[in-house]
Structure formats: C-alpha cells, structure tokens
Amino acid sequence: MSAAITTSNLTKRFKTHVAVDSLNLDVPQGAIYGFLGPNGSGKSTTMKMLLGLTRPTEGEIRVFEQDLTPASRTRMLPSIGSMIEAPPGYGHLTGLENMRIVQDMLDLSAVQIEHALETVRLTEHKNKLVRNYSLGMKQRLGIAMALARDPALLILDEPTNGLDPAGIEEIRTLLIRLAGHGITVMVSSHLLDEIDRMASTLGILSAGRLVFQGTRAELMERSVPDILIVTPTPQAVLDPQTLAGLVPAQASGASGQPSGPALVPQGVRIPGMSKGAVAELISRLAAAGVELHEVRREAQSLEDVFMDLTGRGGGVL
Ligand SMILES: Nc1ncnc2c1ncn2[C@@H]1O[C@H](COP(=O)(O)OP(=O)(O)O)[C@@H](O)[C@H]1O
Ligand SMILES: [Mg+2]
C-alpha cells in the first residue's frame, strides 16, 4: 500500500528538551491513523511539523511520496486539511460566515462550503453565532473548515477532546465515512478508547518516542498477560531466590513506573513472564512444597497495554 505520510528520524528539540524524538511514521493511504499519547508526548508538535507550521530540528517528511520542504510546502498544503489543538472559528460570526472566510482564503466555491457544512451536519445551524455552538459543533465546524478544500489528507489534533460520548460517536462516524471516500485521516487523542475503534492503524507516542505502530490486533499481540498465582502462602512466591532470573528487571518498558511481582488478594501477580519462565517457576514452587491452587494468565485489556507502553504516571485522563 502506498503511503500518505512517512517520516524518517523526525525530531523536534526546544532548546535541550526533545519534544519529538526520531519518529519513523508510516501513515498508509486511505487509513484512519490513530495518533495516541499522553498529554505532552509530542502529538501536536509532530502534526505541526507535518503541516509545515513548525520546522523539524532533524529528519525528513514525505507526503504522498513527495518531500515536504519549505519550497514544496505551498504546493502541497492545499491537499491537506487540518485542525490543530483547538477548533478555529470566530465566535462573533456565524458558522457560514466563518466558512466564507475559508472560502475566500482558499478560493473555493460556494458549493464546496455548503457540501462541507452538510458533511459535518451543520447546515441547519450555519446561521447561528459560533459562540452559541456546543463544543461538538465547534469541533465539527473546524472539521468542515479543514474539509472544504476537498483534501486527500486530513490531520486532526484531538477533535474528540472534551466531547461527551454522543459527540465522540458523531466525530467517529464522520471520520469513518470520510475514510470510506478515500480520504486519509490522521487523528490524535490522549485517550485510547476515543479512537482505537475507528483507527485502522495506531501510532503510540510516549515522551516524544514512537513506542508502537501497527494495527490494534498487533498491539494486543504485543501484550504479555500477567501471571496470577493463587496460593495461601504468597510470601514463598515472592522470595527473591524463588524468582531469581525469571522476572524481568522492569516489565514492558513502562517509563518510570516499576512494575514487578505484587501481592494481590488471592496470591501474587507477576507481569511480563515468558512461557519458559512460568514453567520454571512452577517447578521451583513445587520443589519447595509451596501450595498452589491455580496459576493462570490474566487477560490484559487494550487499555492496559496502552498504559504499559506510555507509563501509568503519564498524565493520561
Ligand atoms: N513552542 C514550544 N516551546 C517549548 N516547548 C514546547 C513548545 N511546544 C511544545 N513544547 C513541549 O513539547 C512537548 C510536547 O508537546 P505537545 O506536542 O504539545 O504534546 P501533546 O500534543 O502530545 O500534548 C511538551 O513537553 C511541551 O511542553
Ligand atoms: Mg496536543
């Protein structure tokens, strides 16, 4: 499949702070690419670089197989619609008046404007002042402004932020419909469940680094479910000699959050153990005469996997 966006080694430093660290993004054409990460992980900065609004410190960007450079930018941007950080739009103007500004700026037809308003279902509210719009309507107006130019690529930064479940569902339905018409959609969120069901590909950022890129199914496969050992004598399991060499020093790369064997009501829970390590642990426990009632894998939710990747203290929520 050809790519809508690829980046190589894309990096942004603010003084010494690395906000975006050597990203190799691959956004397939026609995809809904869910760009996930806690607040401050570098989503907006990345999207601004993709739009030529912020200059990369290092690295390359290709959009539809062409290099995005200061020289090519003017030619390429008309095919990209975007909404970054907050929905645009003047509160003292109506939805339609805001759209007219976009129309004039981009030299669009009245039909394009009407069609974009129709697509986001704002036609019946187009003559109301934007300051009286709900947040969901403002987000949809922002998307209409991005859509009016009939872009091949839509880059939307947290369009579901602050919306209630019905508002989120509306945006989700809209983006799925747009992707169905062949538009590539890159959409960011700090909340996994706002976008994982609509995204065909996920890219997950943690502290500026891409810690995962692939499908939802591939993300699930990456998870190693915790082992739950049900026993009346959990201390025997937690004995450092029993666990020696079997438990990773720090499970699954969680940033800053040590996650290791833990006491739970039924016994002990241990993350990140391979099959071989589990087999060895069981034989050690049996040899030591520890009473085992049950040893099982505890299913991990997608949310758990996301949290492990991005660090539980990462400001998600
Ligand atoms: N203009 C700027 N100057 C200095 N630091 C910035 C600037 N913009 C963003 N940052 C920092 O870069 C990091 C990533 O920010 P941002 O891209 O906004 O993250 P996100 O959109 O994922 O919340 C944060 O630590 C933020 O404070
Ligand atoms: Mg942001």
pLDDT band for 253, please (50, 70, 90 cuts). Answer: very low
Rounded to 10 degrees, what is the CA torsion of 32, 36, 39, 45? -60
Token code pair at residue 271: 């993350």
Q: How far is the CA of 21 from the centre of ligand 1 (A)?
A: 12
Q: How far is the CA of 132 from the centre of ligand 1 (A)?
A: 30
Residue 252 has pLDDT above 60, yes or no: no
Delimit the domains of the chain by residue range: 3-220, 224-299
Exposure string of 175-207, with b = 16+ CB inside 10 Å and e = fewer, is beebbeeebbbbbbbbbbebbbebbebbbbbbb
In sequence order, the β-bridge partners of residue 62 are: 6, 67
The residue whose CA is least distant from atom 11 of ligand 1 is 19
40 lines ligand 1 (CB under 6 A): yes
Residue partners of 43: CB distance under 8 A and separation at least 6: 35, 36, 37, 157, 158, 188, 190, 205
What fold characterizes domain 3-220?
A: Rossmann fold (3.40.50)
Q: How far is the CA of 37 from the centre of ligand 2 (A)?
A: 9
Measured at the CA of 276, the angle between CA 272 and CA 280, to 5 degrees, comes to 100
45 lines ligand 1 (CB under 6 A): yes
Residue 312 pLDDT:
55
Q: What is the mean pLDDT of the chain?
A: 90
Residue 200 has pLDDT above 80, yes or no: yes
Q: How far is the CA of 94 from the centre of ligand 1 (A)?
A: 32
Q: Which ranges in 196-292 belong to alpha helices (H)? A: 216-221, 234-238, 240-243, 275-287
Say how far residue 207 (Cα) sits from the centre of its chain. 13
Residue partners of 274: CB distance under 8 A and separation at least 6: 224
Which atom of ligand 1 is least distant from the CA of 45?
Answer: 17
Q: Please tell me the pTM assigned to this model.
A: 0.82
43 lines ligand 1 (CB under 6 A): yes
pLDDT band for 313, please (50, 70, 90 cuts). Answer: very low
Taking the CA of 205 as reference, the closest ligand is 1
269 lines ligand 1 (CB under 6 A): no
Which residue is associated with the tokens 């069901």? 197
